[in-house]
Amino acid sequence: MPSQSVTSSPSPTGLGTSHAVARWCAQQDWPVHPLAPGHKTPAANCPTCKTARHSPSKCPCIPAGGWCHGFHAATTLPEQVDAWWTQQPRFGVGVSCGPANLVVIDVDAHAAEVPDRNRLLPGIPIAPSVNLDGLATGFDTLALLAALRRQPSPAQDEQTLRVRTPSGGLHVWYLNPLPASRYRSSTGSSPKTALAWQVDVRAHGGYIVAPGTKTTAGVYTRVGQARHPAPLPHWLATELDRTGHLPAQQTATSNTPPLRTRARRAPKAAHRVLQPLLDEVAACAVVPCGASFTEKLNRAAFTAGGLVQTGHLVMGEIRELLCETARQARPHQEGRNISIIDSALSAGGQRPFHLKGRS
């Protein structure tokens, strides 16, 4: 039951309805799910799911169009989004981070006792000579971590989507350029896995409140001009790896080797590897939104980057092909397409793709 009031793509500034915000997020290939009216927690399960002891994967409500189990029910299907927010217009909007390939740095500004200096940045001892006067929130610990790595603080990153929370915190949204690497969620107070004190990570197995969502405490408001997530900075990916946000068998790296620009061998074999991935991107043209377009484009460009690095493809030619394929599938977001492609090509260059045979 499509709503006539949400046919356009609104800016996520908090000025539109929750239905419009949910529609906009779904159009970005971010699976959404309802939040309880006025709150930042998922909408309540049905009476059966409240008492049943089944896992979300075995819940009969989700395939039937229910919103039980929070982010496990998240979807990009327009008809499902319309049904949920038509039934309850006061629902807030949550975004499931894992399927959306999002890594969100959640900076808190809670009034709390500052822990010992050696607990501010897990795994990093802070020398007594470092002046910590005035340190009070996650903004300070995140800035401290960035300064130690000689990088700007993500809280000041104007190139990516940032959202001010009603409590005075900040959500810094990034796109994971390596979808195969599933970053874990964590809390800044965790004694085992944390990026920094009062700095949470929302990623696989978690959700984030969408910009524009209204709660009893206030509105989640976009900061600055960026409307989409930028690729996760390499140095930050390295820190997430160091602090245990990647499973042991996965790795992240901060060094991007220079990509080769001339194909030396097996171009036909390389195209046979890449063509099915390009076909998946092209097929998204028949679906106006959703269809996991971002993930498919990311995968294709990542694979292409690995093939370029091993000399099987020419960078300029394959980048042009990727851009043209993405343009035909999503002509209204060319700037975002290019950002995804360039980031994934660079990331793919870190994982050279070696073909077993030649054509």
Answer yes or no: are the C-beta atoms of 185 and 163 closer than 8 Å: no
Collapsing DSSP to helix, strand or coil, 45 comes out as coil
How many domains is the chain partitioned into structurally? 3
Specify whether 182 is located in the same domain as 298: no
In a domain, 359, yes or no: no
Residue 119 lies in a domain: yes
Within-domain flag for 211: yes
226 domain residue, yes or no:
yes
- Rounded CA-CA distance 307/352 in Å is 6
pLDDT tens digits for the chain (359 residues)? Answer: 333 344 444 445 545 799 999 999 999 989 999 999 999 999 999 888 888 778 888 888 888 888 888 899 999 999 999 999 999 999 999 999 999 999 999 999 988 889 889 889 998 888 888 889 899 999 999 999 999 999 999 999 999 999 999 999 999 999 998 777 889 898 766 666 789 999 999 999 899 999 999 999 999 999 999 999 999 998 999 999 889 898 764 544 433 333 333 344 456 788 888 888 998 888 888 776 667 888 889 889 989 988 888 888 888 888 888 988 888 888 878 778 887 888 888 888 877 887 765 44
Domain-embedded: residue 258 = no
Whether 201 and 306 share a structural domain: no
Of 48, 80, 96, which residue is a domain's last?
96
Distance (Å, whole) CA 173 – CA 234? 14
d(CA 156, CA 127): 25
How far apart CA 173 and CA 187 sit, in angstroms, is 16
Residue 103: CB atoms within 10 A of its CB come to 29
Same domain (yes/no): 220, 127: yes
Helix (H, G, I), strand (E, B) or coil at 105: strand
Question: What CA–CA distances, in Å, run from 304 to 230, 256, 356?
Answer: 20, 15, 16
Are 124 and 236 in the same domain? yes
The pLDDT value given to residue 201: 95
Residue 198: which of 282, 284, 106 has the closest Cα? 106
Q: Quote the CA–CA distance of 34 and 260 in Å, as a whole number.
A: 46
Q: Is the full-model pTM beyond 0.75?
A: no
Q: Write down the pLDDT at residue 279.
A: 87
Structure tokens at 252: 């992240």
Let me know whether 272 and 324 are in one domain.
Answer: yes
Q: Please indicate, yes or no, if residue 252 is contained in any of the structural domains.
A: no
Indicate if 224 and 124 belong to the same structural domain: yes
In a domain? residue 165: yes
Q: Which of 63, 96, 129 is the last residue of a domain?
A: 96
Q: Which of 242, 259, 281 is the last residue of a domain?
A: 242
DSSP states along 201-258: EE-BT-EEEPTT-EETTEE-EEESS--SPEEPPHHHHHHHHHTT-S-TT----S--PP
198 and 122, same domain (yes or no): yes
- Could you tell me if 24 and 89 lie in one domain? yes
Which pLDDT value is given to residue 290?
Answer: 65
Dig out the tokens for 262 from the structure: 């001339």
Give the whole-angstrom CA distance, residue 271 versus residue 136.
54
* Domain match, 47 and 29 both: yes
The secondary element (H helix, E strand) that includes residue 162 is strand 162-164
Quote the domain boundaries for residue 318.
267-348
343 and 290 belong to one structural domain:
yes
Report which secondary-structure segment, H or E, holds 174: strand 170-175
Same structural domain, 117 and 232:
yes
Residue 31 lies in a domain: yes
Does residue 128 share a domain with residue 45?
A: no
Q: Which amino acid is at 261?
A: T
